[in-house]
Amino acid sequence: MSAPSDLPYLIRLLDDSDPAVRPAVRDRLASYQGDISHDLAALGIMISATGKKRLSQWLEPGRRQTLMDEWIVPTQGGVTLSDDWDGFENLLCLLADFLHDGITLRPSLPDELDLLIDEIREDLPHPTPDELRCWLFVKDAFKRTPKNADDVNHFDLCHVIDHRKGNATSLGCLFMLLGRRMGIVVEGCNYPGHFLTRIDTGDGTYLVDCFHGGRKFDVEELLGGQQKISDKALRYFVSSGRSAAPERSTPSSARSIMFFA
């Protein structure tokens, strides 16, 4: 593996016009495993916008290899992940590291979540599920991305936290991860074509659309007003122990959410 002290020399060669130099630089950068953000910050190295773009592209194979090396596949397959929310967070952390540019210094996903929880607790020391929903989405702390919802950056939860914008899946996952760290039950709901979450407020079970300002829908009222709702949609709507057979009441597992994303 190349030493951090080699970086200043490699950075100077980013714009070298010699066709033999660039492949050699790419090969040396591959040994940094796709991320040199901490080394760049420690060395105080400044890079032009063009250089950053090229450098990030050349580091990407290293991040991809790191993702392949560290992505843990359970011995019994994806079904093992169903209730392993620590494993789920770890996979989202690996995904965030892979989607990162490898040169911008930022906290890890667990640290980002802890910092966000500290921010929330300044206003809500012990929030209820509905209070957390309102803080995150109704008061516009987090908003939907106005366009290109399927852009890969919107699946990077660190990017979502930093920019306070995301798509339906990333905002829903953020709601669930924060809830679990704060002792609040927030379940996923893989509704066909859209990702929703589900909370119990004590007076009823509600679906929450994190992508559209945290809109809340009472499950029973929603079912009562949708006579033509499909069986597939019904399967994801119904809350545990209410108005349906048990096989239609299971919330989305960590495994199913990863496949949905």
Task: Write down the pTM of the prediction.
Answer: 0.82
Mean pLDDT for the chain overall? 83
Do residues 61 and 30 lie in contact, with contact meaning Cβ atoms separated by under 8 Å? yes
Alpha carbons 29 and 137: distance in angstroms, whole number: 40
Contact by Cβ (8 Å): 95, 155: yes
d(CA 141, CA 181): 18
- Report yes or no: 32 and 62 within 8 Å, Cβ to Cβ: yes
For 181-196, what is the mean pLDDT?
A: 85
Domain ranges of the chain: 1-70, 74-260
Residues in the chain, how many? 261
Q: What's the one-letter identity of residue 117?
A: I
In 54-75, which positions are buried (b, 16+ CB within 10 angstroms) versus exposed (e)? bbbebbbebbeebbeeeeeeee
Type of residue numbered 259: F
**Residue showing tokens 């009823």:** 204
SS3 content of the chain, % helix, strand, coil (to 5): 55, 10, 35
Query: What is the 3-state secondary structure of 163-206?
Result: HCEECHHHHHHHHHHHHHHCCCCCEEECCCCCCEEEEECCCCEE
Mean pLDDT of 112-116: 97
**pLDDT, tens digit (0-9, with 9 covering 90-100), for 6-56:** 899 999 888 888 888 988 998 888 888 899 999 999 999 888 888 899 999
Looking at the domain that runs over 74-260, which CATH code has it been given? 3.10.620
| Higher-scoring residue by pLDDT: 104, 82 | 104
Measured between alpha carbons, how far is 2 from 104 in angstroms, rounded to an integer? 19
Confidence band, pLDDT 50/70/90 cuts, at residue 241: very low
Predicted confidence at residue 239, as pLDDT, reads 43
